[in-house]
């Protein structure tokens, strides 16, 4: 790592030269976490992780939201953190949200996954067939594709007749990597290949015909790799679950269900649930499906629950619903289901399909018909809070006439198939709402009064005022008002911070209504456009008393080309608060070996940084160069850029 430091002196007289010009807006940049590596650990482990991002200077607090996991920061820079994560022995399997807090504010969450298999961290070089790294199965491999032209080769041994599951998680772990997975024999001949089964994540199930050595190859599909690209690859014998049919069962009843998935091969497997009042026995295993008998005690409350198959490890969880007298079925295109409905004039009713939200692949379509078969209401994809790219249908309808009607349910995503379960809800309208966080990283400056937005997703005719309660305000921050006005979908929480507060103080807020229903939001944790996104439920805001930036920096472009032995210039715009005239010292972080910052030429609002590459400078692309400015006790960072040395 190289640093260059030079000074930009801008005096009052220089500022006067631009008298009359409009003062540019100084950007407040919140800390941003882009990746964590490794992406997970087992219960009972303590691991050292690398977190990459931007604006991470002065990170002082490392936080997991619930779950009992602990974090301790070991080293801090503007673009990289090293931390120690401790996973307790009884930790919940699955994803846990992690953040850091700095005087700038709270970061976005990243995901850290607790898994049951032995975890193996890759060792480079392993980018070619003759460099393949040997892995003992079953295992969760933590690896990354951080350099251009990087591939990962993993060698393993399989037995004749053995079926293995290859499950690569990147997008589902909140990472931006789009990878392909290739299965080779020992001589490098291709046996299987997959891409984009789950969001961008590849998934394979393969039955081996001969005992021997094989290779799993992870290939990036990007034109260029990135230091943030990380993933986990499970190579396991435990099955994969897709969905459960029927999708809903009643409390106090024993129900025979079908589990759909892959590698459901072990008739001695057991079933586990996330509620002690639910138990089951496996009746038959057929590979891509299995049957089980589930008993739900009468005390189990309606709602979604998780089922896991235990067989030489844990499967992923599948979701099913517990509901009183559920209406369930298998959604088809050519054979739509029709249900009779009796309604009175003026009656408001709700017709809702529960499928995609709870793991079913069904893409439902609802139609409401009168006695003559005339369509009076229709819905394909309803707008539901917290469900991006929803495929479930919902109709809210007020009937004009008393009479007999029909409700039609159809699946538009596939013509045939038994693995498209759904639950249909038919009920009287119940005015309701969901409180939705507009932001989960709010901040305010000492001495400032600030209004935070809160959204109410009203449904089924709800119009009343919603008084709000805010728990967990930092000392010195007072609540002036909090409510959603009657009939409005947007409310305001007004906060005031005392003038003498120290920047960096923070608290975990809980925003709720009088019934203790808490506000939440769906946060995006990875994206490549379209439906290639991963999301996470966020139900906490982290309010920070923040340092007001005196200046901010912006690079004129996002990439700089350098030739060995040559120089290149980078223009950096400087935005200042109106009364800020102090000296700024510039530096560059993460420069490739042999590249240095040689000089700076400055005007009041623009600096030109000249970089020099030696004759033996490191070739290739450096993807996370940070341009830093220090002044008056503050450190500010321009959005990262890349350098290409050739």
Q: Is domain 331-429 classified as CATH 2.60.120.380?
A: yes
For residue range 574-618, list pLDDT tens digits in order: 999 999 999 899 999 999 999 999 999 988 899 999 999 999 999
For residue 602, which of 626, 631, 643 has the smallest C-alpha distance? 631
Question: Alpha-carbon Rg of the chain, whole angstroms?
Answer: 28
Residues of the chain with pLDDT under 50: 1-21
* C-alpha to C-alpha distance for 606 and 365, rounded to whole angstroms: 57
Please state whether the predicted TM-score (pTM) of the whole model is above 0.75.
yes
The pLDDT, as a whole number, for residue 14 is 33
* C-alpha to C-alpha distance for 294 and 306, rounded to whole angstroms: 12
Residue recorded with tokens 């608060």: 577
Residue recorded with tokens 């990036």: 220
- Domain 32-114, second-level architecture: Sandwich (2.60)
Query: Which residues are CB-contacts of 409 (< 8 A; sequence separation ≥ 6)?
Result: 329, 331, 336, 337, 338, 339, 353, 364, 365, 366, 393, 422, 424
The pLDDT, as a whole number, for residue 329 is 95
The pLDDT, as a whole number, for residue 3 is 37
Residue recorded with tokens 């984009």: 196
3-class SS string, 342-382: EECCCCEEEEEEECHHHCCCCCEEEEEECCCCCEEEEECCC
Query: HSE-up of 94 (CA within 13 Å, CB side)?
Result: 11
- Please, are residues 542 and 443 in contact by the beta-carbon 8 Å criterion? no
Measured CA to CA in angstroms, residue 45 lies from 83, 320, 336 at distances of 14, 31, 51
Measured CA to CA in angstroms, residue 256 lies from 179, 228, 240, 290, 421 at distances of 38, 45, 20, 11, 14
* C-alpha to C-alpha distance for 619 and 26, rounded to whole angstroms: 35
Phi and psi at residue 500, to the nearest 5°: -95, 10
Q: Is domain 433-519 classified as CATH 2.60.40?
A: yes
Residues of the chain with CATH 2.60.40.10: 6-25+549-645, 32-114, 240-322
> In CATH, which of 2.40.30.10, 3.60.21.10, 2.60.40.10, 2.40.50.140 is domain 240-322?
2.60.40.10
- State the distance between the two ends of the chain, measured CA to CA, in whole angstroms: 19
Query: Which residues are CB-contacts of 266 (< 8 A; sequence separation ≥ 6)?
Result: 239, 285, 311, 312
> In CATH, which of 2.60.40.1150, 3.30.479.30, 2.60.40.10, 3.30.2350.10 is domain 6-25+549-645?
2.60.40.10
The pLDDT, as a whole number, for residue 531 is 58
The pLDDT, as a whole number, for residue 23 is 53
For residue range 127-166, list pLDDT tens digits in order: 999 999 999 999 999 999 988 889 999 999 999 999 999 9
* C-alpha to C-alpha distance for 543 and 509, rounded to whole angstroms: 7
Residues of the chain with CATH 2.60.120.380: 119-236, 331-429
The pLDDT, as a whole number, for residue 224 is 86
Would you identify the CATH topology of the domain 119-236?
Jelly Rolls (2.60.120)
For residue 157, which of 127, 132, 178, 123 has the smallest C-alpha distance? 132
- Report the side by side order of strands in the sheet with 567-576: 551-555, 567-576, 606-613, 595-603
* C-alpha to C-alpha distance for 30 and 101, rounded to whole angstroms: 9
The pLDDT, as a whole number, for residue 10 is 36
Query: Residue 186: enclosing H or E segment and its boundaries?
Result: none
């Amino acid at each position: 790592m190289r640093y260059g430091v030079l000074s930009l002196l801008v005096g009052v007289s220089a500022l006067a030269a631009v008298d009359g010009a409009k003062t540019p807006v100084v950007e407040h940049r919140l800390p941003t976490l882009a990746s964590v590596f490794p992406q997970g650990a087992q219960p009972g482990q303590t691991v050292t992780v690398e977190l990459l991002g931007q604006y991470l200077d002065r990170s002082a607090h490392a936080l997991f939201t619930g779950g009992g996991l602990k974090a301790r920061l070991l080293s801090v820079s503007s673009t990289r953190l090293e931390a120690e994560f401790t996973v307790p022995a009884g930790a919940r399997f699955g994803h846990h949200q992690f953040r850091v807090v700095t005087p700038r504010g709270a970061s976005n969450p990243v995901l850290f996954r607790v898994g049951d298999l032995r975890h193996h961290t890759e060792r480079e070089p392993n980018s070619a067939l003759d460099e393949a790294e040997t892995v003992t199965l079953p295992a969760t491999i933590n690896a990354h594709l951080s350099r251009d032209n990087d591939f990962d080769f993993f060698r393993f041994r399989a037995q004749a007749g053995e079926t293995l599951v290859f499950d690569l998680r990147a997008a589902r772990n909140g990472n931006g990597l789009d990878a392909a997975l290739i299965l080779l024999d020992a001589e490098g001949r291709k046996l299987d290949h997959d891409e984009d089964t789950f969001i961008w994540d590849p998934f394979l199930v393969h039955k081996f015909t001969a005992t021997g050595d094989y290779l799993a190859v992870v290939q990036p599909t990007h034109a260029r790799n990135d230091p943030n690209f990380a993933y986990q690859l499970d190579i396991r014998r435990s099955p994969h679950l897709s969905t459960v049919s029927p999708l809903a069962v009643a409390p106090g009843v024993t129900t025979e269900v079908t589990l759909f998935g892959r590698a459901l091969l072990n008739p001695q497997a057991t079933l586990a649930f996330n509620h002690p009042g639910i138990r089951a026995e496996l009746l038959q295993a057929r590979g891509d499906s299995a049957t089980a008998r589930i008993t739900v005690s009468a005390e189990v409350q309606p709602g979604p629950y998780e089922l896991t198959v235990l067989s030489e490890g844990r499967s992923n969880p599948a979701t099913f619903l517990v509901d009183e007298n559920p209406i369930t079925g298998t959604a088809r295109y050519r054979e739509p289901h029709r249900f009779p409905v009796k309604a009175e004039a003026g009656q408001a009713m709700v017709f809702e399909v529960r499928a995609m939200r709870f793991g079913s692949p069904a893409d439902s379509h609802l139609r409401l018909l009168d006695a003559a078969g005339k369509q009076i209401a229709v819905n394909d994809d309803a707008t539901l809070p917290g469900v991006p790219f929803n495929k479930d249908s919902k109709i809210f309808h007020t009937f004009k006439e008393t009479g007999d009607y029909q409700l039609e349910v159809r699946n538009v995503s596939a013509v045939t198939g038994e693995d498209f379960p759904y639950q249909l809800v038919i009920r009287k309208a119940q005015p309701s709402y969901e409180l939705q966080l507009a932001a989960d990283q709010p901040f305010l400056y000492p001495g400032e009064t600030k209004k935070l937005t809160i959204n109410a997703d009203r449904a089924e005719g709800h119009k009343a005022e919603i008084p709000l309660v805010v728990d967990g305000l930092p000392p010195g921050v007072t609540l002036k008002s909090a409510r959603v006005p009657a009939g409005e979908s947007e409310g305001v929480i007004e906060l005031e911070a005392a003038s003498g507060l120290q920047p960096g103080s923070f608290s975990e807020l809980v925003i709720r209504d009088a019934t203790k229903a808490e506000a939440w939001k769906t946060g995006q944790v990875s994206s490549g456009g379209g439906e290639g996104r991963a999301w996470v439920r966020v139900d906490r805001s982290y309010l920070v008393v923040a340092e007001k930036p005196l200046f901010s920096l912006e690079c004129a472009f996002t990439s700089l080309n350098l030739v060995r032995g040559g120089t290149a210039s980078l223009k950096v715009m400087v935005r200042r608060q109106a009364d800020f005239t102090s000296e700024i010292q510039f530096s560059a972080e993460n420069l490739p070996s042999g590249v240095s910052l040689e000089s700076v030429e400055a005007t009041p609002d623009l600096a030109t940084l000249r970089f020099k590459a030696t004759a033996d400078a490191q070739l290739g692309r450096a993807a996370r160069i940070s341009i830093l400015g220090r002044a008056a006790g503050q450190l500010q960072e321009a959005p990262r850029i890349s350098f290409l040395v050739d």
